[in-house]
Amino acid sequence: MKILVAGGAGYIGSHTVKALLGEGFDVVIFDDFSTGKRDFVTGGAVIEGDLMDAAAVRKAFRTHDIGAVLHFASLIQVEESFRDPQRYYRHNLGTAMNLLEAMFEAGVRRFIFSSSAAVYGIPQRQPITEDHPVNPYNPYGVTKSMVERILQDYDRAYGLRFVSLRYFNAAGADPDGILGEMHDPETHLIPNILLSLLGKKPVLGIFGTDFPTPDGTAVRDYIHVTDLAAAHVLALRSLLGDKPSEFINLGTNVGISVLEVIRAAERVTGKPVPYKILPRREGDVPVLLASREKAERVLGWTPRLSDIETILRTAWAWHRKSV
């Protein structure tokens, strides 16, 4: 039995493939390499294909004996999702629908979905537990919550068993140095800090210093991508053990402000970060903090590498070598 990893050559997908291979799973990566990288394929079979091509997706299930699917492939830029929502709805819903339909045709009923803290919208309380109302603010978050709704309906109607993992701020790089984070354009804080230190961006922009937080900059819950990958393996084991469907936050319940990340980056790299203060970015909330109680209770998951120094040290090692 093989595990199909859609988007397995992307940032979080590739780290999860490495974790799955390390635990002896047989992996098939399905990726169109539009944002995924060939260098990030560390093993397993590879199907180069487009998840919007329903026939190609069905063929993958006829070619391989698939037992479960992990779906990472997604458009992820919040700002772009405001500008071009049609692209987001078509792609993020269409890819999930194609995978689910091909799964059912092949009799596969186990699915792990890359969801996001964006489904909660503007948080009403912190830390955010999974029973917090789902009320996404941006179209990207709406696509994630719509897929979650589809999963619930398919569970009830067709016996689908899923784990929807709601990521907070994924960051860091594989400690072995092969895999890392690179997006084009890069919008995320930590890679942008490192790019500014490498001279690839003239200066880091800080989006807002007037938030109701201790230092005025936004507070986030950063989780090391290797810890995130480990949670996917645990979620897969839970589904293979016939456990019920779940929505689970993946974060650490530790909040770090933008300025604190910058100071930590200066400590880790020994270099001053060049920055300038800019207005707030549309849709950024002051604080996002995950309750990790459910991930610990249901999956037996604990973060091991998610302190900000380890995140920055691993990211810096990869960026210095690879960017």
| Catalytic residue ranges | 140
Q: Which of residues 123-142 bind ligand UFG (CB under 6 A)?
A: 140
Q: Which of 4, 57, 118, 128 binds ligand UFG (CB under 6 A)?
A: 118
SS3 for 41? coil
- Shortest approach of ligand UFG to residue 283 CB, angstroms? 8
Q: Which of residues 169-198 bind ligand UFG (CB under 6 A)?
A: 169, 187-189, 192
> Taking the CA of residue 179 as centre, how many other CA atoms within 13 Å lie in the half-sphere pointing to its CB?
28
Q: How far apart are CA 261 and CA 258, in angstroms?
A: 5
Task: Spell out a b/e string for 214-251, using b for 16 or more CB atoms within 10 Å of the CB, else e.
Answer: eebbbbbbbbbbbbbbbbbbbbbebbeeeeebbbbbbb
- Shortest approach of ligand UFG to residue 76 CB, angstroms? 5
Q: Which of 15, 64, 220, 292 binds ligand UFG (CB under 6 A)?
A: 220
* Assigned token pair, 27: 């992996």
Q: Alpha helices, DSSP H only, in the chain?
A: 11-22, 54-63, 78-83, 85-88, 94-105, 139-158, 189-197, 225-240, 258-269, 293-294, 308-322
The answer to whether the CB of 104 falls within 8 A of the CB of 162 is: no
60 vs 258, beta carbon nearer ligand UFG: 258
Which region among 82-90, 92-100, 111-119, 156-164 touches ligand UFG (by CB under 6 A)? 111-119
Other C-beta atoms closer than 10 Å to the C-beta of 297 total 10
Q: Which of 94, 123, 175, 205 binds ligand UFG (CB under 6 A)?
A: 205
114 vs 245, beta carbon nearer ligand UFG: 114
Q: Which of 14, 16, 116, 310 binds ligand UFG (CB under 6 A)?
A: 116
Is 304 among the residues that bind ligand UFG (CB under 6 A)? no
Q: Can you give the binding site for ligand UFG, defined by CB under 6 A?
A: 76, 78, 116-118, 140, 169, 187-189, 192, 204-207, 218, 220, 258, 281, 284
